[in-house]
Amino acid sequence: MIKKIICILLIFCMSVTALVACGTATTNNEGDSAEDVKVFKFSFGQPLDSTDGRGYQYFAQCVEEESNGSIKLELYPASSLLSNDEVVDALMDGTADIAHVTVAYLSPVVKEITPLEIPGMYDGTRYMDFAYDLRDPVDKICNEYGIKILACLPACNMNIACTKKTIATPEDIKGLNVRVAGVWMGKAISEWGGNPVTITLADVPTALERKTVDAVYGGSNTVMFPFKLYEMADYISFTTLQENLGFIGMHLNSWNALSSEQQSAMKRAIDKWGIYTEQLQLDDVKAYRKALTDNGNVVYDLTDEENAILINKSLGLIDEAVKIAGPKGQELADICERIRAKYDKPYTPGIIPEGFAAE
């Protein structure tokens, strides 16, 4: 009798563990014969009213609709579940089922993708080239770490917000303390002549106001606009360099726990989300530009030649990054080089063909 009780307890414990790893599973009112409803925790650092936050609310809605209610997402915005430093480990061990993750926080663990952190690896206005050309190789690499890449994030370009002057060339950056996110952004700032400074994003507005830093290098829609850094920095420069690359990542076991129908539903939801979020990005850039005009900021768009100077200095870091990343990193760097060769081919924002989701 004791042995039977022990066996039952062991089976119960194993069942509970499986549920925790793969999200909470419940049944609907139809009874035990109905398909389990999987509830996944989705963690991201941006507030709900940000571009990404509004996009993720729409994504959650699409997931539930496309799966006929068999998948639901619990949203945890503004790092309310996990900080950026915690999110990669959480995706690997299943603490979070789904999360917004960027290369800067992923590459310290997934060394193979290190080259993708270098500014200028591809034109920031051509992020859809990245989404289609690099998503599957990145997914394959991340699978080895227990992470499924669902999609690449529609992205914005990088800005330089400065309290002292307009930034257009390395000579303008020389000697300035510049806030960056990630090791390789910092290395690029050093190549441009500046002094990279690491500060938690939430503390950046105060740092600019108190002149702890002279400038911030960050995305227009993810940093400058939502945190209103233009109110602390009079000079805003627009570059064509890509934002810190981001993904929707998922705990691999949670993904594998979905039926083929549910996986297809997730991909359909991602395709809808991609179209919706790119339009949000385009609309928010317009709103951001208007806010700059209304605030009286000095706005400057770098010329092709000025962008090229920054990019060429930054790309000098590729060999160093590939040494860390190995052969798979070299493959990603080669793909980026092919993307850069597409510059002479026009790209129309606002058009995302079907199949945006990773395979």
**pLDDT attached to residue 126:** 66
- Spans of all domains in the chain: 35-155+245-284, 157-244+297-339
Backbone angles phi, psi at 101, to 5 degrees: -135, 140
CA gap 332, 319 in Å, rounded: 13
pTM of the model: 0.80
Fold (CATH) for 157-244+297-339? D-Maltodextrin-Binding Protein; domain 2 (3.40.190)
The answer to whether the Cα torsion of 319, 107, 121, 176 is positive or negative is: negative
What number of other Cβ atoms are within 10 A of residue 127's Cβ? 24
Q: pLDDT of the chain along its 359 residues, tens only?
A: 554 444 444 444 444 444 444 455 544 444 333 458 999 999 998 889 888 899 999 999 999 999 999 999 999 998 899 988 899 999 999 988 999 998 888 999 999 999 999 998 877 666 666 667 888 899 999 999 999 999 888 777 899 999 999 999 999 999 999 999 889 999 999 999 999 999 887 789 999 999 999 999 998 888 899 889 999 999 999 998 888 788 899 999 999 999 999 999 999 999 899 888 888 888 998 999 999 999 999 999 999 999 999 999 999 999 999 999 999 999 999 988 887 876 555 444 444 545 556 56
CA gap 249, 231 in Å, rounded: 33
**Same-fold call for 35-155+245-284 versus 157-244+297-339:** yes
**pLDDT attached to residue 155:** 74
**pLDDT attached to residue 187:** 96
Rg of the Cα atoms in the chain: 22
CATH 3.40.190.170 fits 35-155+245-284, yes or no: yes
Q: What angle do CA 110, 112, 116 make, to 5 degrees?
A: 95
SS3 string of the chain?
CHHHHHHHHHHHHHHHHHHHHCCEEECCCCCCCCCCEEEEEEECCCCCCCHHHHHHHHHHHHHHHHCCCCEEEEEECCCCCCCHHHHHHHHHHCCCCEEEEEHHHHCCCCHHHHHHHCCCCCEHHHHHHHHHHCHHHHHHHHHCCCEEEEEECCCCEEEEEECCCCCCCHHHHCCCEEEECCHHHHHHHHHCCCEEEECCHHHHHHHHHCCCCCEEEEEHHHHHCCCCHHHCCCEEEEEEEECCCEEEEEEHHHHHCCCHHHHHHHHHHHHHHHHHHHHHHHHHHHHHHHHHHHHCCEEEECCHHHHHHHHHHHHCCHHHHHHHHHHHHHHHHHHHHHHHHHHHCCCCCCCCCCCCCCC
**pLDDT attached to residue 336:** 87
What number of other Cβ atoms are within 10 A of residue 170's Cβ? 16
